[in-house]
Structure 1
Amino acid sequence: MPSPAHAVHAQLGAMWLGCVGWALTAVALGLVQWRVWLVSDREAISSGVAWVGLWRACFYSHTHVTPGLLVMHCESMGLTEAFTPPEVAAGQVLMLVSLLAGIGGNAAAVYALRNAFFGMGRGSPIRSAFVAAGVLCLLAGAASLAPLLWNLSSVATNQTVKFPPRFKMPPAPDSQHMGWGIFVGLVGTVLMVVSGVVFCTYRSPKRSRHLDSALSGGAGGEDNLAFESQDHL
């Protein structure tokens, strides 16, 4: 019978893809460059460029400085604040859900690979563990894809955010484009989805009928009469 370890090469590669995808999702969550605003009024925004992320809005300034950030001014965006747009609020929640589902999927994949490579017994739930890993990774990909596409749509249609005065942001940008946060998040999402699909396609190696008969304790076999006659001597 083929060893389970010989049937999980694709799943081993998928685990690495899943880990990289999860890491990229975490990086995207922390990046402020989701939406890049280009503005002509440089009274506060000295560089003419501002960044809107999921948690903060930042820009370089020579007149408004956030302590500890040199010439950068940043303000935080809370989930419950009235000005926070729905796509940003959804991103704050769903990206965290994606991280939790992703780490659960990778943990299930590690458990399944451990059972496969170290021969944890015929009844070990390798198939079930891989399916669980695949479902969790697909859930992670779906959870992150929704806010990423939503924010990308807001960029494409040049949607604005009604920031309060303390943000020192203009009412609307002259133009805006996608930042590295969305790009990194999309790459991480694709990797998580690919790993989830590969996990779900795992199939247990088929056992040989002759081996099953041998392991069943001799069921269906014949007794050795010569061996029994020697026992009576």
Structure 2
Amino acid sequence: MLLLSRSANCQVGGFALVSIGWILCSISTGLPQWRVWYLNETMLSEPSIAFIGMWRVCVYNQTIKAGNAKECHEYTYHDSFVPWNMRIIQHLLLASNIFGLFGIVATIFALRNVYTGKVTKNATYNPFVISAFVNIIASTFVLLAVLCNYFSVIHKVGISFPSSFHIPLYPPNQRTGIANVLASLAALMFLGSGIIFLSYASPVETQVYPDV
């Protein structure tokens, strides 16, 4: 049992990676800073900044008299003005969060089986294989969401927000936001944990037999 426990030490690190990756993925999903739009100034205000997220948009108006003013509007994929590329990202992020959470649960069960001796020393199968593939799938979904958002920015895809939002269809300038960075880190951690779990070797596989 001690040998089995030692062979799973790296997988504990993989569990830490998938846990942090899932937290970062969840945070990035709720952040509005997926796209940063720089809007033109008006006679009564300085240049404004709009943070375009997957579920809400926040506009920061720096008025001459009142200073900074923040206004946020929430939306879902049921709203007709949400473009198809954002709908795809919404579904990818939701799926990645679900797969990431399932990966955490599967890893907990696999670690419990190893450390409690339910995986015998003669076992040749990998108890972490389910966790590995689930985390790799989550990594793929997050990466696709990041790439889809990135290409939307470089191709300057506009969004037809309702007139009450006071946001133009196309901004003069735009860039990707911090949510992209967090999601990219989450994808790397999901992938890293999946590779670690796939690299698990049972004591039978790692045992070296002397030449006869």
TM-score (norm 1): 0.78
How far the C-alpha of 1:193 sits from its partner, in A, is 0.8
Describe the SS at the equivalent of 2:102.
helix
Contact 2:146 2:184 in 1 (8 A): yes
Query: 2-side partners of 1:44 and 1:86: how far apart?
Result: 34
Secondary structure of the corresponding residue to residue 120 of structure 1: coil
- Alpha-carbon offset, residue 2 of structure 1: 6.8
> Map of 1:185-224 to 2, 5 A cutoff?
185-206=183-204
SS of the counterpart of 2:57? strand
1:15 aligns with 2:30: no
State the SS of the aligned residue for 1:61: strand
CA pair 113-61 structure 1, distance change in 2 beyond 3 A: same
More strand by share: 2
8 Å CA contact retained: 2:128, 2:197: yes
After TM superposition, give the deviation of residue 41 of structure 1 in Å: 3.3
Partner SS state of residue 59, structure 1: strand
Q: Give the match for residue 133 of structure 1.
A: 131
Q: 1:148 deviation in Å?
A: 1.3
Identity percentage of aligned residues: 28
Query: What's the CA shift string for 1:72-127, capped at 9, x where partnerless?
Result: 21112220222211221112111111111111111111111122222225289894
Aligned to 1:94: 92
- Give the distance between the partners of 1:170 and 1:30, measured in 2 at CA: 23
Aligned residues: 203
Give, as a single letter, the amino acid of the residue that structure 2 aligns with 1:153: F
3-state SS, counterpart of residue 50 of structure 2 = strand
Deviation at 1:171, TM superposition (A): 2.3
- The answer to whether the Cα contact below 8 Å between 2:89 and 2:145 also exists between their aligned partners in 1 is yes
Moved more, 13-22 or 111-120: 111-120
User: Which blocks of at least 5 consecutive residues in structure 1 are unaligned?
Assistant: 64-69, 210-233
Q: What is the deviation of 1:155?
A: 1.1
CA contact (8 A) 2:28 2:182 kept: yes
> Where has structure 1 moved over 6 Å in runs of 4 or more?
123-126
Q: Distance in 2 between matches of 1:45 and 1:109?
A: 52
Q: Offset at 1:26?
A: 0.3
> In terms of Rg, which structure is larger?
1
Other structure's SS at 1:129 match: coil
Aligned match of 1:167: 165
**Distance in 2 of aligned mates of 1:208 and 1:180:** 43
Q: 2:109 maps to what in 1?
A: 111
Any idea what SS the aligned residue of 1:122 has?
Answer: coil
Q: Conserved in 1, the CA contact under 8 Å of 2:124 and 2:205?
A: no
Note the residue ranges of structure 2 that are not aligned, 5 or more in a row: 208-212
* 1:76 partnered with 2:48: no
Alignment RMSD, CA only?
A: 2.7
TM-score by length of 2: 0.86
Structure 1 residue 8 displacement after superposition: 1.2
The separation in 1 between residues aligned to 2:107 and 2:11, in whole angstroms, is 8
In 2, distance between residues paired with 1:16 and 1:208?
24
